[in-house]
Structure 1
């Protein structure tokens, strides 16, 4: 098969032939049809993000494809089934504290690196090997729809955060980072889950206007000024009532003050879920005040990626029509143009923009 290979951090991807993956028990081999390219993929491949990733490797976290072969433990899959390849691979020998690797992207700790030795190669290839539990049936789709279904990779992250805060229909939710790729997907997911109102702060006025146009009066936007106290007051005043939950999904380049302004806009008894990258590369700490958390009964929790059932739930939400993949604008590249795809994803990375490779 052909694959795009990262041989050294800071070097371009090299597209060349490599051996097909070999099927083992408890595994599935998938013919990749479309693989999403993260907006920050170039930062990972350059080494800037300092992700744990053994080289050489075929990058690409997740995607859409069709089943080629499966082991004897699979009783529902059929050859040719359209599936989502979930890149969040967990070790099977510790249910409480599994080691995790994000296939083709990064690992969590030494155990995650050990998983990479076997499941490291990702989706920028004509075939990929995954654990059986990481291959999720989509039902019938067309080849042309595979690119849009790659939006599932993006949607799953904020959707998981909203589930973590136990979002209830009718609640008012604030998405910190709403003008970005993951944040705008969080706006769509929150509305699909029944949020009564979504507060969407950001600096990009054009994207804020676009969010209002797409989703109407249930989205209320706030233009950030950089003044922490003023921004918090503006977010609270934009809401129709108390803000029940805050999901932060800002990137590493954002200031902790922006996270804090949003988090502390939540009502007493509210929930704050942290899923972004602020602080990953060092710098100022978040510094949420202990007395404010304690006296206001605020729950602050982190949420990294998602549990195995979340992808199944998100697929159902999409199939129901409540969460629309038609919101996403897809630009596709051939495998031979993998480096151009990485550059495009970095340059065109706003709300509802999706870059995919078609191996």
Structure 2
């Protein structure tokens, strides 16, 4: 098979021939049709994000594909099935606190690193070996535009955060980082789940305008000024009532103060879900006031990625048309143009911009 390989950090990806992977028991072999290229992929491959990838490695997080071969433990999956491949791999020998690796991308702790050594390569390849439990059937409509459906890798993250916070229909949500790739996804998914109102703070006025134009009055844009007191007051005013839940999806470059200001807009008995990269890699403290959390009975929860059930739930939202992929701007690249795709993704990281790699294709397309 052909694959794009990260030979060392700081070097361009190299497209080369590799042996076809072989799926063993508990695994599925999938032909990769489309996989999203993360906007920050250049930072990962350049080494500035310090991800625990071990070159040489085929990177790439999840993808849409067709099953080539299933293992003996698969009872419903069949060769030829159109599927979504979730990159979030969990160890099978600890149901309570499983180790986690993001196949072809990252891992957590030594246990996660061990998983990453076993499932080393990701989706920037014509074929990929995937755990059986990470493969989810897709509706036939996804086969008409697999590039668009590969946005599952973005939307499942936002969906997982909203599930963690228990967002209910009619509630008011504040999305910290709403103008980014993940944050704008949280806005769209929250509205698909029935949020009554979404407060969307951000510095990018053009992106705020795009959110307002797409979703209408249920989205309340808040241009940020950098003045913490004024910004907090503006977010609360935009909500026009209590803020039930805050989800943070800000990138590592954002200041910790931005997370804190947004979090402290939540109502008494409200929920705060932290999913962003702020404080990495130096681990700067968030420093939410103990007294405020305790006296207001606020729930603060971290959430890395999402449960397995999030994949099925999101696929249902897409199949029903509740979450609409049609307005998203998709630019596809063939495998030979993988480095162009990485560069393009870095400068097209706004709301609903998707950069997609088509491993079976050789050229780019709009």
Runs of 4+ in 1 over 4 A off after TM superposition: none
Map of 1:107 onto structure 2: 107
The offset of 1:143, in angstroms, is: 4.3
Report the TM-score when normalising by structure 1: 0.98
What does 1:1-359 align with in structure 2 at a 5 Å threshold?
1-141=1-141, 143-282=143-282, 284-359=284-359
The offset of 1:109, in angstroms, is: 1.0
Q: Determine if contact 2:10/2:47 at 8 Å carries over to the other structure.
A: yes
Q: Deviation digits for residues 273-325 of structure 1, max 9, x if unmatched? A: 00000001216421111111111111111000011111111111111111111
1-structure distance, mates of 2:311, 2:289:
34
Q: Deviation digits for residues 40-92 of structure 1, max 9, x if unmatched? A: 01111111111111111000010101010001111111211111110001111
2-structure distance, mates of 1:236, 1:185:
22
Q: Determine if contact 1:82/1:141 at 8 Å carries over to the other structure.
A: no
Map of 2:362 onto structure 1: none
The offset of 1:240, in angstroms, is: 2.1
Q: Determine if contact 2:82/2:143 at 8 Å carries over to the other structure.
A: no
Aligned residues: 359
1-structure distance, mates of 2:142, 2:162:
30
The offset of 1:113, in angstroms, is: 1.2
1-structure distance, mates of 2:35, 2:164:
27
Q: Determine if contact 1:101/1:108 at 8 Å carries over to the other structure.
A: yes
Q: 1:208 to 1:26 in 2, by over 3 A?
A: same
- Counterpart secondary structure, 1:141: helix
Q: Deviation digits for residues 82-138 of structure 1, max 9, x if unmatched? A: 111100011111111211110110111111111122211000000000110001000
The offset of 1:142, in angstroms, is: 5.2
Report the TM-score when normalising by structure 2: 0.97
What is the RMSD computed on CA atoms of the aligned residues?
0.9
Q: Determine if contact 1:33/1:143 at 8 Å carries over to the other structure.
A: no
Consecutive unaligned residues of structure 1, counting only runs of 5 or more, are none
1-structure distance, mates of 2:106, 2:164:
23
2-structure distance, mates of 1:171, 1:23:
44
Map of 2:364 onto structure 1: none
Map of 2:363 onto structure 1: none
Q: Deviation digits for residues 7-50 of structure 1, max 9, x if unmatched? A: 10111100000000012011100000001100001111111111
Q: Determine if contact 1:36/1:61 at 8 Å carries over to the other structure.
A: yes
Q: Determine if contact 1:268/1:296 at 8 Å carries over to the other structure.
A: yes
2-structure distance, mates of 1:308, 1:142:
20
- Counterpart secondary structure, 1:72: coil
Q: Deviation digits for residues 196-222 of structure 1, max 9, x if unmatched? A: 000000000011111111000100000
Q: Deviation digits for residues 177-212 of structure 1, max 9, x if unmatched? A: 000000000000000000000000000001111111
Q: 1:268 to 1:358 in 2, by over 3 A?
A: same
Q: Determine if contact 1:54/1:113 at 8 Å carries over to the other structure.
A: no
- Counterpart secondary structure, 2:145: helix
Q: Determine if contact 1:32/1:123 at 8 Å carries over to the other structure.
A: yes
